[in-house]
Structure 1
Amino acid sequence: MTIQWFPGHMTKARRQIQEKLKLIDLTIELLDARIPISSSNPMIDEILKGKPRLIVLNKADLADSRTTEQWIAYFNKAGHAAISVDSSTGTRVNEIPVRAKQILHEMIARQISKGVNPRAVRGLIVGIPNVGKSTLINRLAGRHIAATGDRPGVTKGQQWIKVGTEMELLDTPGILWPKFEDPLVGYRLAMTGAIREQILNVEDVAFFAVKVLAKRYWDATSERFGVTEPPKDLEDADEIVRVMEDIGRKRGCLISGGRVDLEKVSGIILRELRSGSLGRISLESPEDLLY
């Protein structure tokens, strides 16, 4: 299955971002800590035109902490400031304005040298759908301002939000890109809920999820779903389906003739993966970039 999605409102959102760049001091690129590369829009460098950037790995509470540390080191080595946060609970969110001012220390120093009180830092938050931009903004602002939801496409327009007296943020709709050159990117985005389920084949996505879980987190998968026999060969489709059917039997997803309802069990697998019910799971690591 090839997953592609680029609705018209995303073309409009890209244009709106480019129009606002002259007002922006830095960009805050929000990534999903479980899939930092797959959730990074490859068009972002072109869109932002070299603006200073702070990379924020959100949903860190759902990601493998050791893998997240590896990603922080990876981005730092590449010359990007990076931090991991959990916008749902607020963990480390307050460090974002501090890191932003560190990145812009030269600009702030110039203002001070001219005898001008430094104005509030102006940041632009960018990220793919459902990565948690609105939740993060509400945390930073300390009040409910931006609409939130557990589905992509909640933020419809742009708005400025004050974060205390030292930062102003511009929220933007999530932007995907026209084509996923690597089909695995599409699957990872689908697994984490960044793409609307209405356009997906849920069984295909769950199939891929089971394959990834069996490779990286079989113990957690076995414990959560009560299955004991891992696939003998990850490249054998029948073996992956067999594991899905085992999970379905454990969860009572049966239809006439004692057959497993693969659509129903696929929904269960994806919901529990996304919610963190299987534990802290990362779906890609810096090592994957070597292959």
Structure 2
Amino acid sequence: MSIQWYPGHMEKARRQVTEELKRVDMVIELADARVPLSSRNPMLDSLLQNKPRLLVLTKSDMADQHVTDQWLQYFKDEGTEAVALNALQNKGAKPIIEKSKKVTAPIFEKMKRKGIRPRAIRAMIIGIPNVGKSTVINRLVGKNTAKTGDKPGITKSQQWLKVGRDMELLDTPGILWPKFENQLVGYRLAATGAIKDDLLDFEDIAMFTVRLLKSRYPSALKERYNLEQFPEENRELFEQIGQKRGLLQSGGNIDEEKCAEIILRDVRGQKLGRISFETPEDWYNLDEDENIPVK
């Protein structure tokens, strides 16, 4: 299955981002801690160029903590300022301000030398759909200013927001890119809910998710669906889950669509605990054919 989604309003948003960059000191880029590289828009490197940037890994409460620690080390090693944020528990907002001051320090030192009075940091906040941007903004601002939701595409326009005396935020709509060069990226984003569900083949995405869980989180998979042993074939495992959930139709076949929906809902709802869909090692050994399941 080829996963693509690039509606017209995203092209408009891309143009807006390009136009507004000259008005900001830095960019706060949000990525999903469960898929830190898959959820980073590769278009941003060319759009942002040398603009100071802070990477914030959102939804860290949903990701495997051990894997998140690996990612923070990975970004540190490549010279990228990064911080993990548990937005729902209001943890990590202070480090965003502190690291923003760090990455913009050269700009304000230059302004000081020129005799320009200090002012708040002007930052653009950007990320793909459903990365948790509105929730992060609300925690930074301290009130429910931005709309929040579990569906991609909540923010459709730009707006400036004040973060105390330290920062002014320019909110932007989430932007996906025109084509996933590696379809594994699309599968990971689809599994986490970054792409609208009505554009997906649920069964394909669920099969991909089952394979990942079987390989990396077998205990959680067994416990959630009361499984004793895994069959060798992933297709059989998928059907076992459907049987355990009582999704049998007339003729003894399972309701595949309903089974797929339950699996994805359980994963996104943390019914199987904290799960990461990629590790730094995955990107060192990326092999699309080995990771995307077939029916």
The interval holding the TM-score normalised by the smaller chain is over 0.9
Q: Which residue of 1 aligns with 2:269?
A: 275
1-structure distance, mates of 2:5, 2:266: 24
Query: Which residue number in structure 1 is paired with residue 98 of structure 2?
Result: 98
Shift of 1:113: 3.8
Matched, 1:259 2:219: no
Deviation of 1:147 after TM superposition, in Å, equals: 1.1
* CA deviation string 1:23-62 (max 9, x = no partner): 1111111000000111011111011122111000000000
For structure 2, the 5+ residue unaligned runs are: 286-295
C-alpha distance in structure 2 between counterparts of 1:61 and 1:140, whole Å: 17
Cα contact 1:60–1:84 (8 A) shared by 2: yes
Percent pairwise identity: 53
What's 1:204 paired with?
204
DSSP-derived class of the 1:137 partner: helix
Q: TM-score, normalised by structure 2?
A: 0.94
Tell me if 1:240 matches 2:197.
no
The alpha carbon displacement at 1:79 in A equals 1.0
Q: What is the rounded CA distance, in whole Å, between the counterparts of 2:24 and 2:231 in structure 1?
A: 50
CA RMSD after TM alignment: 1.1
> In the alignment, does 2:126 pair up with 1:132?
no
Query: In 2, distance between residues paired with 1:156 and 1:34?
Result: 24
Would you say the 8 A contact 1:18–1:47 is kept in 2? yes
Question: Partners of 1:212 and 1:272 in 2: how far apart?
Answer: 14
| Distance in structure 1 (CA, Å) of the matches to 2:144 and 2:159 | 13
Instruction: Report the equivalent of 1:214.
Output: 214
> Where does residue 293 of structure 2 map in the other structure?
none
* Alpha-carbon distance between aligned partners in 1 of 2:14 and 2:40, rounded to the nearest angstrom: 15
Question: 2:189 is matched with which residue?
Answer: 189
* 1:41-98, Cα deviation, whole Å (9 max, x unpaired): 1111011122111000000000011110111111111111000001122111222111
Equivalent position amino acid for 1:267 in 2: E
Is residue 179 of structure 1 aligned with residue 176 of structure 2?
no
Residues 1-291 of structure 1: matches in 2 within 5 Å?
A: 1-232=1-232, 239-291=233-285
Structure 1: how far apart are the matches of 2:228 and 2:109? 60
CA distance in 1, matches of 2:8, 2:17: 15
Bigger drift between 219-228 and 12-21 goes to 219-228
Tell me, which stretches of 5 or more residues in structure 1 are unaligned?
233-238
Q: How far has the Cα of 1:115 moved from its partner?
A: 4.5
Give me the TM-score of the superposition, normalised by structure 1.
0.95
* Equivalent residues, number: 285
Give 3-state SS (helix, strand or coil) of 1:30's partner. strand
